[in-house]
Structure 1
Amino acid sequence: MTVTNGMTIRRAAGFAAAVALILVLAACGGGAGSKLAEGKTNVVTSFYPLYYFASEIGGDEVNVVNLVPAGVEPHDWTPKSQDIETASNADLFLYNGAGFESWADNFLQGISKDSTVKTAVISDGIELLEGEGEEHEEHGEEHEEHGEEEGHEHDSHVDPHTWVSPKSALIMAENVKNALVEADAAHKDVYEANYADLKQRLEELDARYETELAGVTRKDIVVSHQAFSYLARDYGLNQVAIMGLSPDAEPRAQDLMNVVKFVKDNDVQYIFFEELVSDQLAKTLADEAGVETLVLNPVEGLTQEQEKEGKDFISIMNENLDHLLQALK
């Protein structure tokens, strides 16, 4: 008797066991390190893309503190009391919303009652997408009971990965600009000018995505976790995710074998993996399907090496496009 893709039951069981070991070994932690500064507008951001937008638009007038350190996957991060204190003493707190920061409600409730910090949800104005198949049946009830407490599940199955599309990033950058102007109206002209420069660079990025992806023959992208729905929607791609909205979700063996089958049936040449989580699952599936792997970065944070090399949101998004073109040609 055989199972999907011609695997024997024994081979499938061994494959599933190897995958389970990979999932157990993939883990990380972290904490915040930056401090507030006197004489500047202090902005606290929940993760890297918002840090980038605030830094570019705020320029010399702001001091931006990013809560999630370099090299830490934000799905695996939860705030400490020190982080709440930092936000309480800041002028502005920016977070993505759409359920990305499952800790946000408790975090905001913990902010000091005499704090004057303003808050802004930066995904406002983006047409949100529902996550596809986020909860596997055998884990669904467990996630409902424990997911919010653990801080790794997203609210209501809404896909929060808005920033991965340049079209969404344009909306988010404007939201950051507006929040900065509201928090520090005295430097409105500076923020408007810096925003105009960032907007031009994001529009150029968007135009490159539109032009170059319009010419590819393949449209299917197989990714390690479901972080590219907005990118797929905005540029005509079809995302097939190994795992759900959270990169530490646990797919069933049958789901994994279905991915392998999809890769073979649709002449997919690459399986994409991410840099802030283990690449072993993607590589295991790629070996099983006889294809190669490439990085497709959800830009949830930078590695320490990327920081040292001076990479940023736009340069990584350009690298993503180069890799997409390589995989879809």
Structure 2
Amino acid sequence: MMKKGLAMAGAALLFLNACSAGTGDEAEEKDTLEIYTTIFPIEDWTKKIGGDYVEVTNMVPVGSDAHTYEPTPSEMVKAASADAFFYSGAGMEAFAEKVVNVLDEDVAVLEATNGVELIADSHDHDHDSEEGHDHSHDEEEDHGHEHDHDHGEEHEDHDHGGEAPETIEIDGHSDHYHSGDHVHLTATAPNDVTSDDWHWYTLAPGANAEDETAWEAVPDNGTAQYEGIAEDGQQIIAKLFGEDHEVLAQSAPVTINVDDHDDDDHGHSHGEFDPHVWLDPVLSIELAENIKDQLIELKPEQEAYFTENFENLVTQFEELDAAFNEVADNAEIDTFIVSHAGYGYWENRYGINQIGIAGISPTNEPSQSQLVQTVDHAEELGLQYVLFEPNITPAVAEVVQTEIGAEALTIYPLEALTDEDVANDEDYFSLMYKNVETLKTVLSAE
């Protein structure tokens, strides 16, 4: 019995030791910061700076478009209990504010572009042709007001009866405005709708959206652009009308959210800036520094470690900047044509001009007349290449390539990796140097 008792005691001791070891492992695991990110550059830099002390999960899947991606409920739940949520900001990730709103109170939030000097969203597909729209509607102001009354009566007939109208896409942001901010929205008509008879309607906060008479027409606005003062809970829709006052296309309602809290954490009003900041190696240093500072705040005992890793990144950014400068200095032409206008920071930093076929968001496609202007401009300059992005290629970009007889090359926006990028173990710098080599080709006269 004595031997049996000793054996049982020994087994119990082993069990307790195993439990103790397990608890130690868990404690060691908790020493690692769990961080959720959005776009690939933020993920990559967080891993490089955080090193052994971070476990990084990127919410935008491989092959996706960060402009339009929406996280699943399960992803939101997981992010809610992480140590930190890092996103680029400046309007890049439409879903970011939704994530911020569900995070636990103790989750640190970093908008990496906070404090960074951004460039304006300069893509002007819409602006080139809107002046004509404005004048025509000014001259026909009474006609426009007649529409205002007629349209209110026709909501029910056209929205809920007969053939459903085509869907208008709205580009812009509804979340995280502050009191007094201006709302800027851009409507994009379906490809098969040629009308330019635009009208916008607003619904006061708390009003019944099903009550057609509650929607108020926005006066003196006959363009695809909407601008107004942010009002929390206000809904906005755009409509295109035909010659017989019928609704040809209509958008889904956009609900405006005003949040006057956390002003220090969110420094940019959305919709006014080009969000593709990470394509500028110099500004990327500032984004990476914001990441480094946040990591130090979360784990101050590792300040020296994070700082050393950040300084190594700075050296790589500076070398990359030098490579871009060399390409720009030796370029025989200074313009390239690309599937969407996401490369304004190269123009701003290096004088390399982009002709973007689609807008800042790849889903913002040009009208037929704007497409013709793009083709004519490319032919006038004798451009021999069209740059396509691996994740998303707007159909209109292929049309332009065919029309000008250009060769297709790949440019990397870096918002998200492809499966091939993952297989090849690509990182921010390897893809950016591929972009450098591509620019060498397209900016040569041969």
TM range (shorter): 0.7 to 0.9
Q: Once superposed, what is the RMSD of the aligned Cα atoms?
A: 2.2
Match of 1:80 in 2: 72
Q: In structure 2, do the counterparts of structure 1 residues 134 and 89 end up closer, same or farther at CA, with 3 Å as the change threshold?
A: farther
Match of 2:86 in 1: 94
Residue identity opposite 2:78 in structure 1? T
Distance in 2 of aligned mates of 1:169 and 1:86: 28
Q: Does structure 1 conserve the Cα–Cα contact (< 8 Å) formed by 2:336 and 2:355?
A: yes
Residue identity opposite 1:271 in structure 2? V
Match of 2:41 in 1: 49
SS of the equivalent of 1:76 reads coil
Question: TM-score with structure 2 length normalisation?
Answer: 0.61
Match of 2:350 in 1: 235
Query: Structure 1: any 5+ residue segments left out of the alignment?
Result: 1-36
Distance in 1 of aligned mates of 2:125 and 2:323: 34
Residue identity opposite 1:177 in structure 2? K
Q: Does structure 2 conserve the Cα–Cα contact (< 8 Å) formed by 1:132 and 1:244?
A: no
Match of 1:70 in 2: 62
Which residue of 106, 110, 116 corresponds with 1:120?
110
Q: Does structure 1 conserve the Cα–Cα contact (< 8 Å) formed by 2:32 and 2:54?
A: yes
1:125: how far off?
A: 2.9
Match of 2:391 in 1: 276
Q: In structure 2, do the counterparts of structure 1 residues 262 and 306 end up closer, same or farther at CA, with 3 Å as the change threshold?
A: same
1:204 aligns with 2:319: yes
Q: What are the within-5 Å matches in structure 2 for residues 139-158 of structure 1?
A: 139=188, 140=224, 145=237, 146=252, 155-158=270-273
Q: What are the within-5 Å matches in structure 2 for residues 162-181 of structure 1?
A: 162-181=277-296
1:249 aligns with 2:239: no
1:279: how far off?
A: 6.0
1:132: how far off?
A: 2.4
The superposition leaves residues 228-271 of structure 1 with CA deviations (integer Å, 9 ceiling, x where unpaired) of 01121101111111111110112111111111111111121211
Alignment length (residue pairs): 288
Which residue of 103, 116, 120 corresponds with 1:130?
120
Higher relative CO (Cα under 8 Å, sequence separation at least 6) belongs to: 1
Distance in 2 of aligned mates of 1:125 and 1:322: 31
1:106: how far off?
A: 2.7
Where is the helix percentage greater, Structure 1 or Structure 2?
1
1:311 aligns with 2:311: no
1:39: how far off?
A: 3.5
Question: TM-score with structure 1 length normalisation?
Answer: 0.82
Match of 1:215 in 2: 330
What is the percentage of aligned positions where both structures have the same residue? 29
Q: Which structure is larger by alpha-carbon Rg, 1 or 2?
A: 2
Where is the strand percentage greater, Structure 1 or Structure 2?
2
Q: Does structure 2 conserve the Cα–Cα contact (< 8 Å) formed by 1:134 and 1:157?
A: no
Which residue of 257, 264, 267 corresponds with 2:382?
267
1:133: how far off?
A: 4.0
Distance in 2 of aligned mates of 1:309 and 1:133: 33
The superposition leaves residues 204-240 of structure 1 with CA deviations (integer Å, 9 ceiling, x where unpaired) of 1111111222111111121111110112110111111
Match of 1:28 in 2: none
SS of the equivalent of 1:277 reads coil
